[in-house]
Chain A
Amino acid sequence: MSLKPFSRARAVHLMLVYTGGCNGCDIEIVNCVLSPKFDIEQYKVFLTWNPREADVLVVTGPVTKLNEKPLKEIYESIPNPKAVIAAGSCALMGGVYKNIHGDIPSEEIMGPVENIIPVDAKVPGCAVRPEDILSGVVATLPKLLEAD
């Protein structure tokens, strides 16, 4: 194993962008990093709030209209290689907000996240479980490791 994938697997910086869900996922994810019970740092994953430092972008929420451009801007300012995790059912398919009224198009919701930025891993759940976020990060690792 060369130094490049070795180092990438041992320090993953994770950034969270909330795009207007119900707050449940955000708290579960931030909590999963912060609380000593899950303590994501022991798996060499660090929480950061600076896109220039991040490797993995976790997006929660169905991407409301006002959040579409900020999300794109944050995604673009992350240097390569980068990966995106869509966490929670809102981020996966717009959630209850986009789908409860059937085929009527929603004016508020621009999501799901896939419509705006490319997604590498999808973590289901309403709200996501902290354990699942960890497995989501693990699922994006091959992409990070194999990139130049």
Chain B
Amino acid sequence: MDRGKLHRLLEKLNDYRGVIALVVVFVLGIIFSPRALDTGLPIFLSWQTQLAILYEYSEYGLLATGMTLVILTGGIDLSVGSVLGLSAVLFSLLTIGYGWGVAPAIGAVLLTGLACGLVNGSLIARFKMQPFVATLAMMTAARGAAKLIAGGIKVQPGGQPWYAMQEGTPPFFLWMTSALPGIGVQPSTLIFLFCILVMAALVRYTSYGRWLYAIGGNEEAARLSGIRVGAVKVLTYALCSMFAAMAGVLNACRQDLGDTEAGMTYELDAIAAVVIGGTSLMGGRGGMMFTLIGVLIMAYINKILSLNAVELAPRMVIQGIIITIAVLIQQKRGRSS
């Protein structure tokens, strides 16, 4: 094999760095997995555990899906965790408190998410605020709004005497979190997978996707080539907030209540997942499937540590180290190309 061929092969492998990392983590998972007491097989490998991992990370996954779009344009959205919290509270309040049907409640929640995203997008595109600052303001405001409408309590049946539902669990909450007969997957998981796959196709095969990369690569050049940069940005932040709102619905169903603290610091996990996948924080490089890999890597690491009942302090150190390594790998790629 001559040098050129080898070089090309290495370059090809370079593109699949994320996949390789995922495989490594997966193998580590099998090695360090405790064995089931009844069958003696590694628990990590079981179908049940794999599904549980996807299910537990579906909220982070939805946030990371939206975050990827924003980061591709070179922006950042710090408000997703708070929008998730606001949506979880609002959804619980509408269904449990006011007795709304599920469809109008989800509609209202998504509209609220859309509104948050439009505010973010307009502040950034029209009023030229830095994404960090604009979404930081939204992060504070949305968390406050969640506490306001909840009235300082967790929204759950019987929380207030006037709530339409005084006990039990809304059937929709149960349905979302129970495995569907036959395939054994929770609807929450399916929603996440559906969203990220659709967005992956959108980013890859439509002009909208190409615009994202163009803006993230060189905003001025994108503008000069006729892309309506402002409109694309507003749409992107709107999409991001709507995914966060959907994650809020999932959160309410999973927790069986609307918690005003829900989603606290989730924005950081979402950003970490995107970065670990290999999408550049500088914008213009990366992709949706990278993010799926990033989410899986984070979820696997968490599950391995959790299955082994590793204590909190070392666990946090290990997570920090892994994020650092991922970023280092990303920097290396930046220099080589």
B is a partner of A: no
